[in-house]
Chains A and B, each alone.
Chain A
Amino acid sequence: MIRVILPWHLRNLARVGSEVMLDVSGQITQRTVLDALENEYPVLRGTIRDHVTAKRRPFLRFFACEEDLSHELPDAPLPDAVAKGAEPFMVVGAIAGG
């Protein structure tokens, strides 16, 4: 199972806890993980990736294994630790005041 951690607002929107477990088939990439996430929780469509371009929304980042994977290609494999469920894939909101 793939572990995904969502920011607070998206947890509330999807009505989930601090961590989501996803069954993802095939290669484990940003795209396959986020596709599975959106299939499981359709309310998240458009909140992490743009509806049309499927690009990451600008104020969000993707972290895993203490690395910033935000600029990795969406079809690049995620780290083995994420694929094996040892480490979570984290969707993180940019820090901001106001």
Chain B
Amino acid sequence: MSGVRVLVGTRKGAFTLESDGKREKWEVNGPHFGGWEIYHLKGSPADPDRLYASQSTGWFGQLIQRSSDGGKTWEPVGNKFVYDGVPGTHQWYDGTPHPWEFKRVWHLEPSLNDPDHVYAGVEDAAIFQTTDGGQNWAEMPGLRGHGSGSKWTPGAGGLGLHTIVIDPSNQKRMFIAISAAGAFRTDDGGATWKPINQGLRSQHIPDPTAEVGHCVHRIAMHRSRPDTLFMQKHWDVMRTDDAGESWREISGNLPTDFGFVVDVHAHDPETIYVVPIKSDSEHFPPDGKLRVYRSKSGGEEWEALTKGLPQQNCYVNVLRDAMAVDSMDACGVYFGTTGGQVYASKDGGDSWTAIMRDLPAVLSVEVQTLK
């Protein structure tokens, strides 16, 4: 392993940070697309020099940028996201039907083996794909075509499809999550989808155990155990060991089980990380202390990781796409805050260092381990 590249999307541009295997000194590249919201950028597992970025503003709409040199230079590619057929309606905040309207791309997930094949999760919730490196995008209509689509209701942040997880052992199987519809799975490459929300309980909907309506914030998987998923829901940290057929709560001794991020250690599928946030009314850490919580037992039992993190007067948030891990021998863990810091741990979370400060609010953090 020769190095690590951290991809940071912020409210006002994108940044890349590169380091050698020691992960001590970081070279910053950016801002790219200054002034634009970069909801997400991610590299292709098949070609680490191929990156994609979602660039948008309320003024000028959505753009997709592509890099073929690891983020040094970028070119805009296709930005036409048009729903398949007659879009129909989903449920609006007041319970009335509301036409599906494209707003932005929340998440870009390159396929595992083809740098030109990328999935995009968008608001209003749908999944698109490109097979020509981003020039053309087509909706995978089976998801919105699920019979529950007309019942999906946006969360306060919009009806965003923000999580796409591909099963490395069977790429026809994918998991997605939508706020506030819940989690879905396809077993046929996206042709059909089923809700996988059994076991979730959400008090903000009339039937807390309904098939859809759950505000899932993030799902994470370890590639060696694709049937085991971890979920940070609006409230509750959850786990499934049967590919989403049933979930159980693993919040255990967390100080609060509200939060946005969840991720898995690169080499230990039972070691997981969350950042508890006080509540959905106060989007900052409890007691002004920024603490990552780690469980080495797959949930229930959690320990606070504080070394190097601010332990007083800290009132930042850590958003759903803003945590990632590298796969160096000693797993690195990274997360970004709405206060513009990017924290990194090169010892699996035992200690932390701010590798970047004073950025615009961080929306997403992804990590590439470079060989």
Q: A60 is contacted by which of B35, B59, B63 (Cβ under 8 Å)?
A: B59
Interface pair A43/B76, CB less than 8 Å apart:
yes
Number of A-B contacts (CB under 8 A): 40
Residues in A with CB closer than 8 Å to B80 are: 45-46, 51
Chain A 34-51 near chain B by CB (<8 Å), digits 1 or 0: 000000000101111011
A9 touches B57 (CB 8 A): yes
Chain A residues, CB < 8 A from B57: 9
Residues of the A chain whose Cβ atoms lie less than 8 Å from the Cβ of B61: 46-47, 50, 57
A65 at the interface (CB under 8 A from B): no
- Given A46-B61, A59-B58, are A9 and B82 neighbors across the interface (CB < 8 Å)? no
The answer to whether B59 and A51 have CB atoms under 8 Å apart is: no
User: Within the assembled complex, what's the spacing in Å between the Cα atoms of A9 and B57?
Assistant: 10
A81 an interface residue at 8 Å Cβ cutoff?
no
Range of interface residues on B (Cβ < 8 Å)? 10 to 19
- Residues of A in contact, count (CB < 8 Å): 17
**B62, CB-defined interface residue at 8 Å:** yes
Assembled-state Cα–Cα distance A5/B156 (Å): 36
Contact (Cβ within 8 A) A45 B63: no
Known: A51-B82, A57-B61, A94-B59. A9 touches B35 (CB 8 A): yes
In the complex the two chains form, is A52's CB within 8 Å of B82's CB?
yes
CB of A54 within 8 Å of the partner chain: no
Interface membership of A10, Cβ < 8 A: yes
Q: Which residue from A7, A47, A48, A93 sits with its C-beta under 8 Å from B63?
A: A47
Question: Known: A47-B61, A60-B59. Is A13-B82 also a contact (CB below 8 A)?
Answer: no
Least CB distance, A6 to chain B, in whole angstroms:
10
Which residues on the B side are within 8 Å of A43 (C-beta)?
63, 76
Give CA–CA (A45, B82) in the complex, Å.
13
Which residues of B in the span 45-99 have a Cβ within 8 Å of any Cβ on A? Answer: 57-63, 76, 79-82
B235 CB within 8 Å of chain A: no
Chain A residue at minimal CB-CB distance from B58: A59
Query: In the complex, A47 Cα to B57 Cα: how many Å?
Result: 9
Asked if B36 is at the interface of the complex by the 8 Å CB criterion, the answer is: yes
Contact present for A13 and B59 (CB under 8 Å): no
Q: Which residues of B contact A94 (CB under 8 A)?
A: 59
Given contacts A9-B35, A13-B76, contact A47 B82 (CB under 8 A): no
Give the CA-CA distance A43 to B79 in the complex, in Å: 9
Contact B79 A57 (CB under 8 A): no
B87–chain A nearest beta-carbon distance, Å: 9
